Amino acid sequence: MRKVVKKQVLLQGNEACVEGALMAGCRFYAGYPITPATEIMEIMAEKMPETGGVFIQMEDEIASLGAVIGASLAGMKSMTATSGPGFSLMQEHIGFAGMAEVPCVIVDVMRAGPSTGLPTQLSQGDVMQARWGTHGDHPIIVLAPSSVYEFFELTVQAFNLSERYRTPVILLVDEVVAHMREGVILPAKNSLEIEERPHPTVPPEWYIPYADPGTGVPPMPAFGDGYRYHVTGLYHDVRGYPTVRTDEVEPLIHRLFTKISKDFDRLQWFDAFETEDARVTVIAYGCVARAAHRAVRQAREKGLKVGLIKLKILWPFMRRTISGILANSQKVLVPELNVGQISREVKRVNESRCEVVTLNKVDGTPIKPAEILQKLGEIYS
């Protein structure tokens, strides 16, 4: 039998994202050029026509996510990619997609902000914006890859989660992961589990668009499938019509939250490294987790009992996982390329169980392994 050699390819993070989107079944891209996310759009401009999909360059980011939402309602798996300033413009639509339960994937390749900031440099400053950027209480799913392969893998998962929960999913990527090139072996087509949005099984006249089928996620027909369907960003009743009735408003917002929160157990995505006996645990994500990994290895060589938790999912925050870490460590170190965004969340979950130490850098350059190692040495006792 002929041995099948898996082919390794050299990919840039942004290229891997496109590969992931294609594998997940994304066939609609609408976007607007912005550094450092532009490559995703440029590659999509070529790949979409090749694969029978649609690529549209819109006039701005507001329009980009608008088109993505429209295409998703028409039945297409859709995405857009942007960076900080464009992500800010998209916020109102993110809220709409959450409220109207329209699956869509938004890639935010973070650059240092606020405002135009450092367009070509590095940051993790959009963590809280991804969580709370749009107004009002809303659930959101935010994934954070730290390698080129992970960017591929999490892009596929972003589509899966988006379809499964009928919710916008944000891929929060830093500029290093987006622009770095690594050798990756992409899985064969059809080897990954690809999820599709639940489709109504009842005849159109029986269909109630926003009735909870028990999972919290109502089935979703595409426009043109024959189902009458009223979509709005207003609070709506189970039939989709606007409502201000208190017995309809509150159940809706609760359902939007619980359709995701009931699955918190399934949404604990992390990599643990040397955490079993760790006295100090580093909690990191994105490119900082790479530096932290090396720092932890070097610290172990020196005999320090330290470990690393690499977060792959930022929101909903993995309270269960992190609580376990906090209970078993004397100290945790949270290095971040912002003034302290995930560390705030760690402190909130910590409830003063152990000491939470931060290491923040906001000058547009990466945190080096040596810096984390030094900090580990300082706080280790």
Residue 110 and residue 119: Cα distance in Å, rounded?
Answer: 9
Q: How far is the CB of 66 from another protein (least distance, A)?
A: 13
Residue 204 and residue 274: Cα distance in Å, rounded?
Answer: 54
By beta-carbon proximity to another protein, the closer residue of 121 and 160 is 121
Residue 307 and residue 297: Cα distance in Å, rounded?
Answer: 9
Helix (H, G, I), strand (E, B) or coil at 97: helix
User: Is the Cα dihedral 219, 23, 288, 279 positive or negative?
Assistant: positive
Q: H-helix or E-strand containing 249?
A: helix 246-261
By beta-carbon proximity to another protein, the closer residue of 35 and 360 is 35
Q: How far is the CB of 107 from another protein (least distance, A)?
A: 16
Q: How far is the CB of 10 from another protein (least distance, A)?
A: 20
**182 within 8 A of 147, measured Cβ to Cβ:** yes
CA distances from 44 to 31, 50, 87, 94, 163 (A): 10, 10, 19, 21, 21
By beta-carbon proximity to another protein, the closer residue of 129 and 275 is 129
By beta-carbon proximity to another protein, the closer residue of 33 and 377 is 33
Half-sphere exposure of 245 (CA within 13 A, CB side): 10
Cross-strand bridge partners of residue 280: 306, 331
Q: How far is the CB of 211 from another protein (least distance, A)?
A: 39
By beta-carbon proximity to another protein, the closer residue of 63 and 169 is 63
Q: How far is the CB of 247 from another protein (least distance, A)?
A: 40
Q: How far is the CB of 82 from another protein (least distance, A)?
A: 12
**104 within 8 A of 73, measured Cβ to Cβ:** no
Q: How far is the CB of 172 from another protein (least distance, A)?
A: 21
Residue 365 and residue 123: Cα distance in Å, rounded?
Answer: 8
By beta-carbon proximity to another protein, the closer residue of 85 and 324 is 85
Q: How far is the CB of 167 from another protein (least distance, A)?
A: 27
Residue 7 and residue 185: Cα distance in Å, rounded?
Answer: 6
Binding site for another protein (CB under 8 A): 32-35, 38, 41-42, 45-46, 49-50, 55, 57, 59-61, 85, 89, 115-116
By beta-carbon proximity to another protein, the closer residue of 51 and 374 is 51
By beta-carbon proximity to another protein, the closer residue of 34 and 143 is 34
Q: How far is the CB of 151 from another protein (least distance, A)?
A: 20
By beta-carbon proximity to another protein, the closer residue of 29 and 227 is 29
In the block, tokens 């024959």 appear at 226
**55 within 8 A of 45, measured Cβ to Cβ:** yes
**21 within 8 A of 106, measured Cβ to Cβ:** no
Torsion of CA 175, 180, 183, 184, to 10 degrees: 10
Q: H-helix or E-strand containing 169?
A: strand 168-174
